[in-house]
Amino acid sequence: MAGALPAVTLPSVVAELLSEMAAAVQEGARIPDEHLLSLKFVFGSSAIQALDLVDRQSITLISSPSGRRVYQVLGSSGKTYTCLASCHYCSCPAFAFSVLRKSDSLLCKHLLAVYLSQVMRTCQQLSVSDKQLTDILLTEKKEEA
């Protein structure tokens, strides 16, 4: 189910915006400017940075034979961050600070990039073994600033 979003954690206006964008992509159209403007309105500068990450093909969906999946995003600094596929979590410091501590932002740019790449279907795909996926999930916690 491409583009399925965890409805429980995204405010409905954001979920709606993303699904409208997905519909546009499905029809083969480019994303209307008004959607991009709405994105910028809701997410501020993160929107531009996230779109940039998508353009650069920085998001990879990693899956294993078990069916479990996780995302990795190559940040602009060259560091790789891990984002969970089922709920909002990113190992980057901005997530810990702006989203969790300050509640300033809904998403960090990496999580937003993951959503956008789902909508625009521009995710890289990588298959790993079950054991390798365990290691990826275990080490994500260790990302330091």
Q: Where do contacts with other proteins occur on this chain (CB under 8 A)? A: 8-9, 64, 66-68, 84-89, 91, 95-96, 100-101, 130-131, 133-134, 137-138, 140-141
Residue 46 or 64: the one with the smaller Cβ distance to other proteins is 64
E-assigned strand segments in 9-117 = 59-63, 69-74, 80-84
Alpha-carbon distance 33 to 55, whole Å? 16
C-alpha to C-alpha distances, 25 to 36, 98, 113, nearest whole angstrom: 13, 30, 16
Residue for token digits 């330091």?
144
How large is the C-alpha radius of gyration of the chain? 15
Residue 51 or 75: the one with the smaller Cβ distance to other proteins is 75
CB 106 within 8 A of CB 114: no
Residue 24 or 84: the one with the smaller Cβ distance to other proteins is 84
CB of 106 to other proteins, least distance (A): 11
SS3 45: helix
E-assigned strand segments in 2-95 = 59-63, 69-74, 80-84
Residue 48 or 96: the one with the smaller Cβ distance to other proteins is 96
CB of 91 to other proteins, least distance (A): 8
CB of 87 to other proteins, least distance (A): 5
CB of 60 to other proteins, least distance (A): 17
CB of 69 to other proteins, least distance (A): 9
Residue 26 or 86: the one with the smaller Cβ distance to other proteins is 86
